[in-house]
Amino acid sequence: MKKLISLLCLTAMLTGCGVEGKSSEADSGKSTVSEKEEVTATEEASGTEAATEITTAKAPEAETTTQIITTEAPEPETEKITEENVNAMTYRAVLERIYYGMVLPDGEELEGDIGGNISENTFAIYDVDKDGRDELIFMYSNTAMAFMFGVIYDHDEDGNIVTQLQSFPAMRFYSNGIIEADSSHNHGLSGSFWPYTLYKYDPGTDTYVRVAYLEAMEKKMVDEINENSADYGIDPPYVYPAEADTSGTGVVYYIHTEGYSEFTQPVDVTEYETWHNGYMSGAEQVEVPFMNLTEENIQKVNQ
């Protein structure tokens, strides 16, 4: 009888454990289903609110886009310059085209710009040719030397932009319309005399015409090079034309009026100065009022 009771108790205990285990699994399953149903019900019930929250969350992105457009607002200024009206630009429009787009009036793009700051270049509005009308002078010098240039713009009778002169930006302006433009390099035998080109304004064409290219030969430079001819690879050495140096200054000059030619005869300083004075006619060097190519300075231009 005791054995029977013990067996019944053991069976009841095992059955209780099994039921308890199944009950836990069922409870766990019910809990999982219940959570899913609650999430689904919540999403369905608050679908409109969720959409509203998403829209609200994206609103700042629209504001950011607006801010970007605002910061880029100056760029459309260059769009005003089109191929149709490029020739009839004002000086201010020319400067804006250069400043914002790095493009010249004829459509040519500026090269170089290793300086990284377009505002370091300069311009001036000034009657440099003395014809009674202001010209636009632009000096592109904040770049590699190979890309440097200076240019003078004017308007023709139809209001179109024309180029009067383009040369190396190291220019000297004179009160009678003469311009002397230094060469970019002095690789020859000129020594202390820096080679340059002399230009004269021609009212008939409203442009500058090349008069001559000037260089020199300095005896001191010739002697130094000849002493080191082996290092320079020179054979035979240079010969200084002492017979042309009648003043004994140690420098003779070459006036290349027909383009550069090594056969141009050297002249004494007196002959050079007589020739030069004939073009200067008592003219004085003019200080052109250049200013930096900045937005502020461009906005001051009303021509």
184/276 same-domain check: yes
Q: What is the pLDDT of residue 282?
A: 86
Domain-ending residue, one of 71, 92, 110? 71
Mean pLDDT of the chain: 77
Q: Is the pLDDT of residue 12 over 90?
A: no
Q: Which of 290, 274, 286 is nearest to 172 (CA)?
A: 286
Higher-confidence position of 129 and 5: 129
Q: Is residue 192 part of a domain?
A: yes
46-60, 98-112, 182-196: segment of lowest average pLDDT: 46-60
Q: Is residue 156 part of a domain?
A: no
Domain-ending residue, one of 71, 99, 129? 71
What's the number of domains the chain is made of?
3
Q: Is residue 159 part of a domain?
A: no
pLDDT, average across residues 236-252: 94
- Cα separation, 203 vs 181, in Å, equals 20
106/43 same-domain check: no
Q: Is the C-alpha dihedral spanning 245, 247, 252, 253 positive or negative?
A: negative
Higher-confidence position of 32 and 162: 162
Q: Is residue 80 part of a domain?
A: yes
54/122 same-domain check: no
Residue 206 burial by CB count (10 A; 0-12/13-18/19+): exposed, middle or buried? middle
What is the residue range of 205's domain?
A: 176-283
212/255 same-domain check: yes
| Residues in Cβ contact with 17 at an 8 Å cutoff, skipping those fewer than 6 apart | none
Higher-confidence position of 8 and 224: 224
276/181 same-domain check: yes
Q: What is the pLDDT of residue 87?
A: 61
Q: Is the pLDDT of residue 155 over 50?
A: yes
pLDDT band at 290 (very low <50, low <70, confident <90, very high): very high
Q: What is the pLDDT of residue 114?
A: 66
Domain-ending residue, one of 71, 88, 123? 71
8-17, 67-76, 101-110, 175-184: segment of lowest average pLDDT: 67-76
Q: Amino acid identity, residue 83? A: E
Q: Is residue 162 part of a domain?
A: no
pLDDT band at 80 (very low <50, low <70, confident <90, very high): very low
130/66 same-domain check: no
204/268 same-domain check: yes
Matching residue, tokens 């970007």: 68
Q: What is the pLDDT of residue 259?
A: 75
Q: What is the pLDDT of residue 45?
A: 40
Q: What is the pLDDT of residue 281?
A: 82
- Cα separation, 221 vs 223, in Å, equals 6
Q: Is residue 158 part of a domain?
A: no
pLDDT, average across residues 44-72: 39
Q: What is the pLDDT of residue 108?
A: 92
Q: Is the C-alpha dihedral spanning 279, 209, 134, 292 positive or negative?
A: negative
Q: Is residue 167 part of a domain?
A: no
182/269 same-domain check: yes
Token code pair at residue 175: 């009160």
Q: Which of 167, 162, 180, 163 is nearest to 141 (CA)?
A: 167
100/188 same-domain check: no
Does the global pTM surpass 0.75? no
Q: Is the pLDDT of residue 44 over 60?
A: no
Q: In this structure, are residues 217 and 251 in contact, taking their beta carbons and an 8 Å threshold?
A: yes
Q: Is the pLDDT of residue 68 over 50?
A: no
58/112 same-domain check: no
Q: Is residue 269 part of a domain?
A: yes
271/211 same-domain check: yes
Q: Is the pLDDT of residue 296 over 90?
A: yes
19-28, 162-171, 180-189, 249-258: segment of lowest average pLDDT: 19-28
pLDDT band at 115 (very low <50, low <70, confident <90, very high): low
279/297 same-domain check: no
